[in-house]
Amino acid sequence: MTQEPYPLYDAPDVYDQACCSFRDTAVEASGVQRIAAAHLGFEPKSVLDLCCGTAPNAADFVGLGYRYVGVDRNQCMLAYARDRYRDLGDRAEFRQGDVEALALPEPVDIATILSGSFFPHTLDGAVRILESVAGCLRPGGLFILEACIQAPEEDPTMRSEYSLEFGQRHLNVLASLSFVDGPRQLVEYRIRVDCTEGDAQRRFESVDRFRLLDPQEFLGVVAQVAALEFVGWWDGWDLSKPLDGRDRLGRRPVVALRKIAHARRRTELPNP
Ligand SMILES: C[S@@+](CC[C@H](N)C(=O)[O-])C[C@H]1O[C@@H](n2cnc3c(N)ncnc32)[C@H](O)[C@@H]1O
């Protein structure tokens, strides 16, 4: 396979099979629901799913009674999601946008970034994303991020290879995370999918670069954003495992922030 890989995010059907087909999206959506039940002061009616990709959680959120808004910058992902969820009618909407410069006609009750889709290149970039999301939230609304913050004491680098079959289609998937600039904590998350269908073979690849944030740095970023306050974090979607300072974060930590009504004093970033 010598030809250039095809951009994986421009092939949403392959991406969805390779990266989402084995997820328990109902557990993820009900995790969001349980955090809302515990920490939102009103009945949530809408959820904004940022960097939604193929929107694997859209039907689950609509099933729970939310109006779903998915935002992504990739038109291929959005076209796939619109077609996939035609049956949801106006309960699900898909909009093109960049997380750093979001604009919605109406504020939402909950915003999410699921499955690690938080890609700031710097701490300032993380501040810009949080400010942009805060601008879309109703006062009191929650911003819930999953697998976006580095778990302390864990080696962030990883390499995972697996195979999947879908009828005549065979996928070999290699996902890896490696450092590209250690001192700046800049990493690269690469997903390579080799797809074989009959005699046809094709390679797909996505590369997302981002700055790792450990919990302390993330709290420093939150402190920079006047409109958000920290609510709590949990070990995965298990709300019976709040972090009390003794436990370590799991590999897929969940963190919740709340939009506050009144701006407060800005503080300095701890490690600019
Ligand atoms: C890993 S995929 C989708 C993950 C999705 N959240 C899920 O749960 O399956 C990451 C997505 O983020 C989108 N993306 C990356 N950077 C973005 C940005 N700055 N603004 C909007 N979308 C972005 C990509 O187009 C891609 O569809």
Dump pLDDT digits (tens) for 170-180: 999 999 999 99
End-to-end CA distance of the chain: 43
In one-letter notation, the amino acid at residue 194 is D
CATH of 152-211, one of 3.90.105.10, 3.40.640.10, 1.20.1090.10, 2.20.25.110: 2.20.25.110
Please give the average per-residue pLDDT across 239-247, as a whole number: 72
C-beta of 11 in contact with ligand 1 (< 6 A): no
C-alpha dihedral, 248 to 257 to 69 to 119, nearest 10°: -60
Residue 154 tokens, joined: 């864990």
DSSP state of 51: T
Contact 237, 39 (CB under 8 A): no
Q: Which of 80, 140, 84, 79 is nearest to 107 (CA)?
A: 140
Summarised one tens digit per residue, pLDDT across range 178-234 is 999 999 999 999 999 999 999 999 999 999 999 999 999 999 999 999 999 999 999
Q: What is the pLDDT of residue 252?
A: 86
Residues 6+ apart with CB under 8 A from 31: 146, 237, 239, 254
Beta strands in 116-253 (DSSP E): 137-146, 158-166, 169-181, 186-197, 200-211, 228-235, 238-242
Rounded distance from Cα 143 to ligand 1 centre (Å): 16
Which atom of ligand 1 is the closest one to the Cα of 191?
1
Which residues make up the CATH 2.20.25.110 domain(s) of the chain? 152-211
C-beta of 118 in contact with ligand 1 (< 6 A): no
- Residue of the nearest CA to atom 18 in ligand 1? 98
Q: Enter the pTM of the model.
A: 0.94
Q: What is the pLDDT of residue 244?
A: 67
Which of 10, 23, 25, 73 maximizes ligand 1 atoms within 8 Å of its Cβ, making it the mutation to test the pocket? Answer: 73
Which atom of ligand 1 is the closest one to the Cα of 28?
8
Q: What is the pLDDT of residue 241?
A: 79
C-beta of 58 in contact with ligand 1 (< 6 A): no
CATH domain 9-151+213-259 topology: Rossmann fold (3.40.50)
Which residues make up the CATH 3.40.50.150 domain(s) of the chain? 9-151+213-259
C-beta of 32 in contact with ligand 1 (< 6 A): no
Residue identified by tokens 């999918």 is: 193
